[in-house]
Amino acid sequence: MSSPSITMLWRYLRPFRARVLLLASLILVGISLQLAAPQAIRLLLDTAQSGGELRLLLTAGILFFIAVISKKVIVLYTVYLGEDLGWAATNQLRADLVSHCMRLDMGFHKLRTPGELIERIDGDVSALADYFSDLVVQVLGNSLLVIGILTLLFLEQWQFGLVGATYAVLALGLLHLLRTPQVNVAREIRQGYADLYGYLGERLAGTEDIRANGGETYVMNRLYPLMAFVTHKRLRQELWWGLSFSSNYMLYVLALVATLALVGYSYWQGTLSIGTAYVLVYYIDLLESPLKNIRRQAESLRRAAASIERIGAFFAIETAVKETAFAKLPSTAPMIQFDGVSFAYKDKLPIVNGQLPIANDQSPISNPSTSSGQVLQSQNVLHDVAFELESGKILGILGRTGSGKTTLTRLLFRLYDVDSGAITLDGVDVRAVSLSDLRRHVGLVTQEVQLFAATIRDNLTLFRNYDDQRTPIDDAQIIAAIETLGLESWFRALPNGLDTALEEGGKGLSAGEAQLLAFTRIFLRDPRLVVLDEASSRLDPTTERLLERAIDRLLQNRTGIIIAHRLGTVQRADDVLILENGRVVENGRRTALAANSNSRFYSLLQTGMEEALV
């Protein structure tokens, strides 16, 4: 096994050392019983041939019966213990992969479909279930069984030991020769499934748009090459397996024929008893079983090696947003300062040793031209942005689509880091604050609200039993937040109150109801800075008026940033900032800009914000 394989094996089996030792002990006992059982048969046969006592015959029979039954019981418990161990270890690996995935940059997630990530986290790990259970122990156990059989054969007669040793060496040598092509095919199959599931997940999520625009034919035409690629690789894998099986079985037949010939000759010469002849043939025949198991386990190890290589590549991807927690943010509404901030989306394909290639529409396999980490976008989105927002004030940000409004909030939230300049909260650079502390102080509400298949309670608390101060979140606190935001009528309309169950994605809820949930969710967190990214741009006037009252209460005693497309929303702002092509073209007090006939904001008020910002 390679060093990464051993490292991963030790890391995830170390917490289960006692179970691993028990499993190894049971396998050693099983091996001993396998080797001892034929000796009882030899005693039985030789005693019967020589006309020995009935008591000795019964003893031999009872010993054989005990050995066989004990071995079956041990094998049964070994299988159970191995499966339990494998699931415990792989579940921890899945949890670590999910945690790592959640820490990666937004640039990474923009290039990955959910289906591909699911295959990465679950598909690759599922291939390691045997590896983490009893695979390695079984390989070692079967190797010890082979050594034990060969030792006994050499002790009986060296000729039989030589036959067995030749068979074992040729069989294991053949396994080594076939290792590299089988590992390569296994790796390609896992990548093929990742591309296939990624494609399916993305297309199934867009079923409504695909059907509405007649894109079914295109979807199916792209699906067939992806499935054909997996099928082709699976066929190659089966061909390699067939070659390995047939070659090893032929070696077994030749070894058995040679053994039978030697046994027959020796018995004819009178140098072997009938019991010894049985034992020699039994051991040669028994030798086929551990070698066959080693072959199968070696194939599993090859599949595991391919998965471990891909998992290692996944873990090797590093986030560009580094966490250096040596500063603390105050628990008051912060002052915000952007100081010469410039930024470009430099989303790269996160490639490690040629792995994790991005699927594309030109080939059912990955595009090799991207294997070095090709930059997908490099032009600046923000150019030397500078402004200040006083503590407890509200900033309204205006600009056309693509002007950089949302990018400002992503940088503030540290979904990305600035290329140059700095963003500070009360004079503290956000890069000097832990991500958990920063995001505890900053609340973000966007148009797209993520809702889960759970109760209203769980969706509002995001499945937390405690808040950031480790204070229990009870129903009274949730209802108080709803009432504070002026949402009592909405809450009373829920069929089961906080126990009302939502479907995945919030199906059945209107856009306004989803926004109400998002506002309450943020209010429960009690951040000191609230960012509203076009949170009411898609709502009808009645629902928007309800949200406007909720916004007023949410922003009370907090610093706020509002990205707005509607005139009414920005009217609550103290300051207004207008972006154009990533540059600040106007910034100042809203009342002063509104009174200045030469300002852009004045023109927006006269023209109508919706028309001017299209």
Residue at 365: amino acid letter: I
The answer to whether the CB of 93 falls within 8 A of the CB of 311 is yes
Q: How many CB atoms lie within 10 A of CB 545?
A: 12
Residue at 264: amino acid letter: G
d(CA 505, CA 514): 10
Find the mean pLDDT for residues 266-287.
Answer: 79
Q: How many CB atoms lie within 10 A of CB 187?
A: 19
Helix or strand run (H / E) with residue 509: none
d(CA 402, CA 12): 46
Fold of 391-612: Rossmann fold (3.40.50)
Closest-CA residue to 338 (of 430, 214, 454) = 430
pLDDT value, residue 338: 93
Of 69-83, 316-330, 356-370, 436-450, the one with minimum mean pLDDT is 356-370
Strand pairing class (336-344; 380-389)? antiparallel
Same fold across 3-316 and 391-612: no
What is the dihedral angle through the alpha carbons of 16, 18, 20, 23, rounded to the nearest 10 degrees?
Answer: -140
Listing DSSP states for 156-195 in one string gives: H-HHHHHHHHHHHHHHHHHHHHTHHHHHHHHHHHHHHHHH
Q: How many CB atoms lie within 10 A of CB 441?
A: 25
Find the mean pLDDT for residues 119-137.
Answer: 70
The answer to whether the CB of 574 falls within 8 A of the CB of 562 is no
pLDDT value, residue 354: 39
Helix or strand run (H / E) with residue 501: none
pLDDT value, residue 168: 83
Per-residue pLDDT tens over the stretch 377-398: 557 889 999 999 999 999 999 8
pLDDT value, residue 355: 42
The answer to whether the CB of 111 falls within 8 A of the CB of 194 is no
Spell out the domain ranges in the chain. 3-316, 391-612
Instruction: Provide the sign of the torsion angle of the four alpha carbons 356, 359, 360, 363, taken in this order.
Output: positive
Closest-CA residue to 31 (of 146, 154, 131) = 146
Quick one: what percent of the chain has pLDDT higher than 70? 85
HSE-CB of 611 using CA atoms within 13 angstroms: 6
pLDDT value, residue 336: 92
> Which tokens hold the place of 272?
């072997």
Angle at 613 between CA 612 and CA 614, to 5 degrees: 100
> Which tokens hold the place of 509?
């809820």
Closest-CA residue to 562 (of 585, 586, 536, 594) = 536
d(CA 149, CA 483): 78
Per-residue pLDDT tens over the stretch 532-583: 876 555 556 666 677 777 788 888 888 999 887 666 678 888 999 999 888 9
Closest-CA residue to 525 (of 424, 438, 425, 427) = 438
Give per-residue burial for 520-533: e unless 16+ CB within 10 Å, then b: bbbbbbebbbbbbb
pTM above 0.85, yes or no: no
Residue at 130: amino acid letter: D
d(CA 104, CA 320): 8
Helix or strand run (H / E) with residue 396: strand 394-399
CATH of domain 3-316: 1.20.1560.10
Closest-CA residue to 11 (of 176, 117, 131) = 131
The answer to whether the CB of 437 falls within 8 A of the CB of 413 is no
Q: What is the total residue count of the chain?
A: 614
For 144, list phi and psi in degrees, rounded to 5.
-65, -35
The answer to whether the CB of 97 falls within 8 A of the CB of 308 is no
Of 168-177, 295-304, 538-547, the one with minimum mean pLDDT is 538-547
| pLDDT for 202 beyond 80 | no
The answer to whether the CB of 229 falls within 8 A of the CB of 185 is no
Find the mean pLDDT for residues 58-86.
Answer: 84
pLDDT value, residue 386: 93
Identify the DSSP state of 499.
G
Q: Which residue has the tokens 């002790």?
A: 155
Three-state DSSP at 542 gives helix
Mean pLDDT of the chain: 78
Confidence band of 349 (pLDDT split at 50, 70, 90): very low
Answer with the residue of higher pLDDT: 179 or 580. 580
d(CA 137, CA 159): 31
For 341, list phi and psi in degrees, rounded to 5.
-85, 125
Angle at 134 between CA 130 and CA 135, to 5 degrees: 60
Q: How many CB atoms lie within 10 A of CB 175?
A: 21
Strand pairing class (420-425; 336-344)? antiparallel
Angle at 547 between CA 543 and CA 550, to 5 degrees: 150
The answer to whether the CB of 348 falls within 8 A of the CB of 431 is no
Closest-CA residue to 291 (of 136, 177, 167) = 167
